[in-house]
């Protein structure tokens, strides 16, 4: 199963792994996904371009959310690596095919 949305991924981590993810974080990720679509698919906006649809405050909010998500992902990955090392397992920490 593939998950394409960061909000869905966070929800699954909360539900299936018991990871603490707040409603505020989910809301921030939802806005980040919404902001991403017109930059990836410029014709997704009803009219105009992504450049005209966003201002500096939108950018700053999205950048802060992206930065916080990146910090969180790094911490989770490091915890997975450490758990794998503690088990003496030298394979991929999450057992993926990559």
The pLDDT tens digits of the residues spanning 2-19 come to 777 888 888 988 888 788
pTM as predicted: 0.67
The pLDDT tens digits of the residues spanning 64-84 come to 999 998 898 888 888 878 887
Provide the pLDDT for residue 94.
58
Q: H-type helices in 18-97, by residue range?
A: 23-40, 50-53, 56-86
The pLDDT tens digits of the residues spanning 38-62 come to 777 877 777 877 777 888 999 899 9
Q: What are the b/e assignments for 5-30, b being 16+ CB within 10 Å?
A: ebbeebbebeeeeeeebeeebbebbb
Instruction: Return mean pLDDT, the chain.
Output: 82
């Amino acid at each position: 199963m593939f998950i394409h949305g960061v909000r869905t991924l966070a929800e699954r981590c909360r539900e299936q792994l018991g990871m603490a993810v707040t409603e505020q974080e989910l809301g921030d990720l939802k806005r980040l996904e919404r902001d991403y679509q017109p930059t990836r698919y410029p014709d997704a906006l009803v009219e105009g371009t992504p450049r005209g649809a966003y201002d500096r405050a939108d950018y700053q909010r999205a950048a802060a959310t992206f930065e916080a998500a990146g910090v969180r992902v790094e911490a989770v990955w490091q915890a997975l690596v450490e758990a794998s090392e503690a088990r003496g397992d030298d394979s991929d920490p999450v057992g993926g095919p990559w």
